[in-house]
Structure 1
Amino acid sequence: MKRIGLKLAILAMVASTVPAAADDRAAVRNCTWCHGAEAQGYTVAPRLAGQRPQYIMSQIQSFHEHTRDNPFSRQYMWNAVATLSQYDVRDLANYFASIRPKPANDGDSALAAKGKRIFMQGIPEANVVSCYACHGPDGEGVRDIPRLGGLAYFYVKGRLEQWGQGYHSTAGSPMPLVASHLGPEEIEALASYLSFVR
């Protein structure tokens, strides 16, 4: 833990002194600036606390390879991970996974029951399988499949909308196809439900 704390401090110092790249990409930023001091995230940046280490490592690789191509990834994360070694990536992933996550609790509680039904049962008539089949019964994630439980409503809603528009996360991810079958009401309900999951 001390080693990670030192790395975060070094990243903060480096980020404050590195000028923007010539091609105007965002400068390297400290994880905590966007993901919070306790890695609980904000509305636009996901909580990393309690996230699966394999998932964090795979996403950093996707940022590095420019596979994860949504606008915030291009603007912030591609450059932020550019200088991380494989050891830094592993250490950061294990560190964030060790922090206890807190639910965002920021969704519409009136939609939570509908969201839970979609999460647990899917939408058979729209050929959407249950989210629980891949993400676990409590949205806890499995190996490199992310934890969804407790993520901010706005973040989950935004990601589902972006996947529906054709943006990607990792090569071979089924999420763009899945999200393309979700309507605005289903997205609202899922994002609301997941924000309350502990």
Structure 2
Amino acid sequence: MKRIGLKAAILALVASTVSIVSALAGDSAAVRNCTWCHGADAQGYTVAPRLAGQRPQYIMKQIQSFHEHTRNNPFSRQYMWNAVAALSQYDARDLANYFATIPPKPANDGDSALAVKGKQIFMDGIPEANIVSCYACHGPNGEGVRDIPRLGGLAYFYVKARLEQWGQGYHSTLGSPMPLVANHLGPEEIEALASYLSFVK
């Protein structure tokens, strides 16, 4: 009897999870609100990042940052602060889990001639500028870890713009090292990194 009860509980849990994902994958207004800018298949555009395959913890953390207005770059202020204003933490969790299930596709829109230099910066950092490798936090393939984002395959223009904005002093979440890191990157290094990452699968 105990085994039957345990199996029933597990099946109920799985069924509830599937129903959440199915509801979101269908005609969910919450998903439509996101894909309006991030693309019908959540692969993103040049200015709106890909959500497909992104780390769910990262998406939830960013939604919190939009709520708290700590992610303060111009597009965040203009669009995302209002977009998440009425989003509950439960809706945020369900959205994050849903988008994480969609296989990501690389943007492939960078300058292939700069990708070799970008890969070197990503893998080795810039020792003379005291910048550690990107993969130390983001993983060897830019896949992300927990609330550290997946970078692999993001659009060239988006990564370039974010690095430039961090260098200008904008923030994403409190305590993020990225403004300090980006402040030590020159325009050519930013171009190379953004190009390389756009091709990473």
Residues 132-169 of structure 1: CA distance to partner in whole angstroms, max 9, x if unpaired? 00000000000000000000000000000000000000
Instruction: State the shift of 1:179 in Å.
Output: 0.1
* Secondary structure of residue in 2 paired with 1:74: helix
Instruction: State the shift of 1:33 in Å.
Output: 1.0
- Distance in 2 between residues matched to 1:148 and 1:57, nearest whole Å: 16
Is the counterpart of residue 84 in structure 1 residue 87 in structure 2? yes
Q: 1:72 aligns with which of 64, 72, 75?
A: 75
Residue 8 of structure 1 contacts residue 31 of structure 1 at CA under 8 Å; is this kept in 2?
no
Residue 43 of structure 2 contacts residue 51 of structure 2 at CA under 8 Å; is this kept in 1?
yes
Instruction: State the shift of 1:57 in Å.
Output: 0.2
Q: 1:122 aligns with which of 115, 121, 125?
A: 125
> Aligned residue for 1:19?
none
- Distance in 1 between residues matched to 2:168 and 2:27, nearest whole Å: 36
Identity %: 85
Larger radius of gyration: 2
> Aligned residue for 1:26?
none
- Distance in 2 between residues matched to 1:68 and 1:143, nearest whole Å: 19
Residue 71 of structure 2 contacts residue 172 of structure 2 at CA under 8 Å; is this kept in 1?
yes
Is the counterpart of residue 100 in structure 1 residue 120 in structure 2? no
Matched pairs, number? 181
Taking structure 1 as the reference length, the TM-score comes to 0.89
- Distance in 1 between residues matched to 2:80 and 2:29, nearest whole Å: 18
Segments of 5+ residues of structure 2 without an aligned counterpart are: 1-20
Instruction: State the shift of 1:111 in Å.
Output: 0.2
Name whichever structure is richer in helix by fraction.
2
Residue 25 of structure 2 contacts residue 98 of structure 2 at CA under 8 Å; is this kept in 1?
no
Segments of 5+ residues of structure 1 without an aligned counterpart are: 13-29
Q: 1:152 aligns with which of 143, 151, 155?
A: 155
- Distance in 2 between residues matched to 1:11 and 1:144, nearest whole Å: 21
> Aligned residue for 2:59?
56
Residue 114 of structure 2 contacts residue 195 of structure 2 at CA under 8 Å; is this kept in 1?
yes
Q: Which runs of 4+ in 1 moved over 4 A?
A: none
> Aligned residue for 1:169?
172
Is the counterpart of residue 31 in structure 1 residue 41 in structure 2? no
| Partner AA of 1:88 in structure 2 | D
| Partner AA of 2:167 in structure 1 | G
Residues 83-131 of structure 1: CA distance to partner in whole angstroms, max 9, x if unpaired? 0111100000000000000000000000000000000000000111100
